[in-house]
Amino acid sequence: MSFTPVHETPEWKALEAHHRELRDVHLRDLFAQSPDRGERFAAEGAGVYLDYSKNRITEKTLELLFALARARRLEERRDAMFAGEHINVTEDRAVLHTALRLPRDASLVVDGVDVVKEVHAVLDRMAAFADAVRSGTWTGHTGKRIRNVINVGIGGSDLGPAMAYDALRHYSDRSLHFGFISNVDGTDFAETVRGLDPAETLFIISSKTFGTLETLTNAHSARDWVVGALGSEEAVAKHFVAVSTNAERVRAFGIDTANMFEFWDWVGGRYSYPSAIGLSLMVAIGPEQFRDMLAGFHAMDEHFRTAPLERNLPVIMGLIGLWYNDFFGAETVAVLPYDQYLDRFSAYLQQLDMESDGKHVDLEGRQVQVQTGPIVWGQPGTNGQHAFYQLIHQGTKLIPCDFIGFLQTLNPVGDHHDLLTANLFAQTEALAFGRDAQEPYRVTKGNQPSNTILCERLEPRTLGALVALYEHKVFTQGTIWGINSFDQWGVELGKELAQRIIPELQAEEEPQLAHDSSTNALIRRYRAARARARAAGR
Positions marked catalytic: 355, 386, 495
Task: Rule CB under 6 A: say whether 269 interacts with ligand G6Q.
Answer: yes
Query: Count of H helices and E strands in the chain?
Result: 20, 13
Handedness of CA 373, 181, 469, 71 (dihedral sign): positive
Residues between 100 and 159 with contacts to ligand G6Q, criterion CB under 6 A: 154-157
Type of residue at 266: W
- Choosing from 239, 270, 291, 303, the residue that interacts with ligand G6Q (CB under 6 A) is 270
The residues, ordered by sequence, that sit 6+ positions from 259 with a Cβ below 8 Å of its Cβ are 237, 240, 241, 242
Distance CA 532, CA 538 (A): 9
Distance CA 166, CA 97 (A): 22
- Candidates 262, 269, 281, 274; CA nearest to 122 is 262
- Minimum CB–partner distance for residue 217 and ligand G6Q (Å): 11
Q: Which residue lies nearer to ligand G6Q by CB, 277 or 285? A: 277
Q: Which residue lies nearer to ligand G6Q by CB, 188 or 326? A: 188
Could you tell me whether strands 201-206 and 148-152 are parallel, antiparallel, or unpaired per DSSP bridges? parallel
Is residue 355 within 8 Å of residue 373, measured between CB atoms? Answer: no
Distance CA 282, CA 26 (A): 47
The residues, ordered by sequence, that sit 6+ positions from 286 with a Cβ below 8 Å of its Cβ are 130, 131, 134, 171, 173
Q: Which residue lies nearer to ligand G6Q by CB, 212 or 379? A: 212
Q: How far, in Å, are 46, 140, 197 from residue 146 at the CA level? A: 37, 6, 10
The one segment of 102-110, 206-214, 410-418, 501-509 that binds ligand G6Q by CB under 6 A: 206-214
Distance CA 16, CA 10 (A): 10
Q: In the complex, which residue's CB is closest to ligand G6Q?
A: 155
Burial class (CB in 10 A: 0-12, 13-18, 19+), 477: buried
The one segment of 14-22, 167-175, 205-213, 308-316 that binds ligand G6Q by CB under 6 A: 205-213
Distance CA 407, CA 237 (A): 45
Strands (E), 69-145: 109-110, 113-114
Residues between 338 and 357 with contacts to ligand G6Q, criterion CB under 6 A: 355
Q: Which residue lies nearer to ligand G6Q by CB, 88 or 312? A: 88
Is residue 160 within 8 Å of residue 131, measured between CB atoms? Answer: no
- Minimum CB–partner distance for residue 486 and ligand G6Q (Å): 8
The one segment of 127-135, 262-270, 315-323, 465-473 that binds ligand G6Q by CB under 6 A: 262-270
Q: Which residue lies nearer to ligand G6Q by CB, 201 or 215? A: 215
Task: Rule CB under 6 A: say whether 373 interacts with ligand G6Q.
Answer: no
- Choosing from 47, 179, 268, 434, the residue that interacts with ligand G6Q (CB under 6 A) is 268
- Choosing from 192, 201, 212, 312, the residue that interacts with ligand G6Q (CB under 6 A) is 212
Q: Which residue lies nearer to ligand G6Q by CB, 15 or 474? A: 474
Strands (E), 111-256: 113-114, 148-152, 177-181, 201-206, 240-244
Residues between 156 and 175 with contacts to ligand G6Q, criterion CB under 6 A: 156-157
Q: Which residue lies nearer to ligand G6Q by CB, 156 or 286? A: 156
- Minimum CB–partner distance for residue 18 and ligand G6Q (Å): 35
- Minimum CB–partner distance for residue 26 and ligand G6Q (Å): 40
- Minimum CB–partner distance for residue 296 and ligand G6Q (Å): 21
Q: What angle do CA 167, 172, 177 make, to 5 degrees?
A: 100
Task: Tell me the site size for ligand G6Q, rule CB under 6 A.
Answer: 15
Q: Which residue lies nearer to ligand G6Q by CB, 487 or 504? A: 487
SS (H, E, C) 272-339: CCCCHHHHHHHHHHCHHHHHHHHHHHHHHHHHHHHCCHHHCHHHHHHHHHHHHHHHHCCCEEEEEECC
- Choosing from 192, 207, 275, 476, the residue that interacts with ligand G6Q (CB under 6 A) is 207
- Minimum CB–partner distance for residue 359 and ligand G6Q (Å): 13
Site string for ligand G6Q, 37-76 (x = CB under 6 A): ----------------------------------------
Q: How far, in Å, are 78, 312, 478 from residue 472 at the CA level? A: 9, 10, 10
Distance CA 315, CA 254 (A): 46
Site string for ligand G6Q, 214-243 (x = CB under 6 A): -x----------------------------
Task: Rule CB under 6 A: say whether 192 interacts with ligand G6Q.
Answer: no
- Choosing from 14, 491, 501, 523, the residue that interacts with ligand G6Q (CB under 6 A) is 491
- Minimum CB–partner distance for residue 302 and ligand G6Q (Å): 24
Classify 109 as helix, strand or coil: strand
The one segment of 167-175, 204-212, 254-262, 460-468 that binds ligand G6Q by CB under 6 A: 204-212
Is residue 266 within 8 Å of residue 95, measured between CB atoms? Answer: yes
- Minimum CB–partner distance for residue 272 and ligand G6Q (Å): 7
Task: Rule CB under 6 A: say whether 25 interacts with ligand G6Q.
Answer: no
Is residue 38 within 8 Å of residue 515, measured between CB atoms? Answer: no
Q: Which residue lies nearer to ligand G6Q by CB, 249 or 524? A: 249
Residues binding ligand G6Q (CB under 6 A): 154-157, 207-209, 212, 215, 268-270, 355, 488, 491
